[in-house]
Structures are given as structure tokens and as C-alpha cells.
Structure 1
Amino acid sequence: MDTNIYPCIWFKEDAQEAAAFYTQVFPNSHYLSKRDPVIEIDLNGTRFMLLQGGPAFSPSAAVSYFVYCGSEKEIDRLYAELSEGGSVLMPLDTYDWTSRYAWVQDKFGVNWQLDIDDIRSDQKIVPALLFSNEKKLAVKEARDFYTGIFDPSRFLMESPYPPGHDMPGGTLLFAQFRIRDVIFNIMSNPMPAEFDFSPGNSFVLECKDQQELDKYWEELGKEGAYSQCGWLEDKYGLSWQVIPAELPSLLSDPDRAEEVMKRLLKMQKLEIAELKNT
């Protein structure tokens, strides 16, 4: 695969505590790397970056992580552990779309959706994007936007609003798609919401070279907003970090990390040659 895509969660001051908690709670989980202020972990086959970034941002319910549990025993266990010290948005129960489901916000403010169903994929934790308020009609448009940018990509499933909702015909309530080797869920929220996408939940996009980085920086940021250090918001407000694949190794090199960071902080779009020429 040419490009790696994985979620990043912003923490005020407890990224280390969160990493220890998640790697204990989820099966087959382990640390990938630690370099201040970033911890990378693998949770049952899904890579996460935990960023200790201070008080500027916090996770939002607009991005959650959908866990396909595969058994009653596992969903009961995860529900108990993830909800302890947090809050329950939807209690563990039977719903129209599944025999057992829950939505919880854990003690760190991170949102998890738990489903008893399995998924025919090695990826058991799927990022879920919730489109609310004026964006609630844009699920199909956003699905097409993301799959149109990345190659390979494909639609996996879609479900329109059932009759009885005050929505234009064909408006999608839920869709699932794959970009590169990563599955995403995307949902429409028919209820008013006080939350929206935030840099508290972002997605890291590792690029193999400057040409690829330039392409995704331009296409993802079009009609959105560009920020510093490789960060941007796309036209729906979803945050991305568009970085060279070798950036983690550059920032882990004790002889170069300080200078690399100084140069990175002065950039919007990252320039690989300048970062490597230290």
C-alpha cells in the first residue's frame, strides 16, 4: 500500500494513561512507538496515534470508533470497561439494525460504538463519521468525495433513510466505504447536535513522496482550510494530517529531531526535502 491512513486522538494531558488503558482493554493490542508528544498503538489490528496536545482541542462525538465485537461475551466486556468512569449515550440493548449495540463515551471523552456483529475483515475497529445539522444530508456526497480522492477505493454498503423521515428521497442514513485498505462508516444524524468535527479527532495520511503529498494536500484541502504543520480541514470540517511517511523516523532521530521539529513548525504544507536536509 502506498499510503497509510490511521486515526489520531487529541488528549489534553492523559495520552499515556489512555494508551495504557486501551492496550489493556482491547485484545491483541500493543505499543508501536513512543515519542513525545505522540504515542502510537495497535488496537486489535487498527493503528491509532494518541497526541498529547494540551487544552486547545478535545475529542468530539462527530468521530467515533465502531467496534465489531463478534460475540455477546465480548460486547458485554467492552461495554462494562469502556463505560466505567465515562457516560452511556445509547445503552446496551436490541435496536432495529442489530440484536445488541451500545454507544459509550469513555473516561477520556473518546466515543465508541459497540456492535455484537462481526465484520468480514481483519479491521475490527472502524472509524465512524457523524454528519449533523446542516451536514446531515451530505453523507452520500461525502462518501463520493473521499472515494473519489483515494485510489483504490470502493463502496461497501449503503442504507437510505426509511419512509417517515422528513428527508429528500434517497438520502443516506448510513454508508460504509473503503479508501486504500481502511474501512470507514459514515452516518447522518437526524437530531440537532451541539458538536461537530474538530481537530480533537483527525486522520493521519502518510505519503510516500512529495508528489503524493502535494496531491492529497490540494485535493483534501480544496474548499476547506489549511493550517500549520501539515494539518488541514476538508470541506466538511474533518481534520487531516498530511505527512511524509518518513516523518516519524526523522522525529525519532535524536541527532535531527529538534531541527526537524523547528522546520516543521514553520510550514503549512510539509516539504520533505527541507525536513530531511538537516
Structure 2
Amino acid sequence: MRKVTPFLMFEGKAEEAMALYCDTIPDSSVLETTRYGPGEDGPEGTVKLARLSIGGGLDVMVFNSPVHHAFTFTPSVSLYVDCSSEEELNRIVETMAKDGGFLMPPDNYGFSRRFAWLNDRFGVSWQINLA
């Protein structure tokens, strides 16, 4: 075995999600992008498959499915972010929660002095922590 990589499947919103994640999480970037070409299942020119680096170390695959599925993301799998300051946590939480929803709003829950758990507008679940 070479590597295990999280794989996020979107239905037409991959590029928008990639921009949100790379603009919001420090040290994140798009590493590779493949786009749908003429005659392929997805709309020509849209993201087909991409690889991101999130937070300077987590490789994540992003796929834009041209097929509608009867399932989406679930909070039972989430991306966990450790923040270096309260300001950073607040900025990330505010940006990621826009048009999404909180599972646990930002607060001191005892195990962390500041923690939030949310679903972003694409349904991807994030736990944002200030250690």
C-alpha cells in the first residue's frame, strides 16, 4: 500500500468547494486539476478530479460527479482543524459556516477552550479547534 487519501465527491460544486477550502484554511492549495473534455460525461471545462493540500499537509482528492446520487456527506466523517489562535478559529468558523449549519456552535466544551463543529454549504463536516 502506498497511501490513504480522503476523497470528497461533489455534484457540480467541486471548484467552488476547492476555492472555499484553499481561501479559508491556511497553507492550502490546489496541487493538480483535471477537467472534463469534449464528449465526456461532465460539462466540458469543469473540474473532473483535483488534488488539494489542506493545511499544509493533508492531501484530499476532490471529484465532480456528473451523476446525481441518493447520498451526500455525513457528519460522522469530518475534517479536524487545529487553529493557532482564537482569531484564526473565528475567521475559519465564520467563513465555513456561511450557508451551512452548526452541529456545535463555537464555545468552551471542556475538552477545548474554543471548539466548533459545522457543516459547510456543501455538506462537508468540519471540527474547528483551539487547543
Q: What TM-score range do you get, normalising by the shorter chain?
A: 0.7 to 0.9
- Residue 211 of structure 1 corresponds to which residue in structure 2? 87
- Residue 110 of structure 2 corresponds to which residue in structure 1? none
Who wins on radius of gyration, i.e. which is larger? Answer: 1
Deviation of 1:166 after TM superposition, in Å, equals 5.0
Select 2:73's aligned residue among 162, 181, 197: 197
Deviation of 1:215 after TM superposition, in Å, equals 1.3
Which amino acid in the other structure matches residue 241 of structure 1? Answer: Q
Number of matched pairs:
120
Deviations 1:193-239 (A, max 9, x none): 11101112111111223222111111111121122262111010111
Give the 3-state SS of the residue equivalent to 2:93 in structure 1: helix
- Residue 130 of structure 2 corresponds to which residue in structure 1? 244
1-side partners of 2:128 and 2:91: how far apart? 10
Which amino acid in the other structure matches residue 156 of structure 1? Answer: L
Write out aligned runs for 1:10-29 (5 A).
Answer: none
Q: Percent identity?
A: 31
Which amino acid in the other structure matches residue 48 of structure 2? Answer: L
- Residue 165 of structure 1 corresponds to which residue in structure 2? 40
1-side partners of 2:124 and 2:22: how far apart? 15
Write out aligned runs for 1:1-278 (5 A).
Answer: 69-70=1-2, 124-131=3-10, 136-165=11-40, 167-180=42-55, 181-228=57-104, 230-245=116-131
Q: TM-score, normalised by structure 2?
A: 0.82
Deviation of 1:177 after TM superposition, in Å, equals 1.1
- Residue 251 of structure 1 corresponds to which residue in structure 2? none
1-side partners of 2:71 and 2:31: how far apart? 27
1-side partners of 2:39 and 2:22: how far apart? 30
Deviations 1:157-179 (A, max 9, x none): 11112321354331111001112
2-side partners of 1:186 and 1:164: how far apart? 21
1-side partners of 2:19 and 2:44: how far apart? 18
Deviations 1:96-140 (A, max 9, x none): xxxxxxxxxxxxxxxxxxxxxxxxxxxx22111011xxxx22111
Q: Which runs of 5+ in 2 are unaligned?
A: 106-115
Deviations 1:68-109 (A, max 9, x none): x34xxxxxxxxxxxxxxxxxxxxxxxxxxxxxxxxxxxxxxx
Q: Which runs of 5+ in 1 are unaligned?
A: 1-68, 71-123, 246-278
Q: CA RMSD in A?
A: 1.6
Which amino acid in the other structure matches residue 233 of structure 1? Answer: N
Give the 3-state SS of the residue equivalent to 1:218 in structure 2: helix
Which amino acid in the other structure matches residue 164 of structure 1? Answer: G
Deviation of 1:147 after TM superposition, in Å, equals 0.5
2-side partners of 1:130 and 1:167: how far apart? 13
1-side partners of 2:28 and 2:104: how far apart? 28
Q: TM-score, normalised by structure 1?
A: 0.41
Give the 3-state SS of the residue equivalent to 2:104 in structure 1: coil
Give the 3-state SS of the residue equivalent to 1:148 in structure 2: helix
Which amino acid in the other structure matches residue 117 of structure 2? Answer: W
2-side partners of 1:167 and 1:130: how far apart? 13
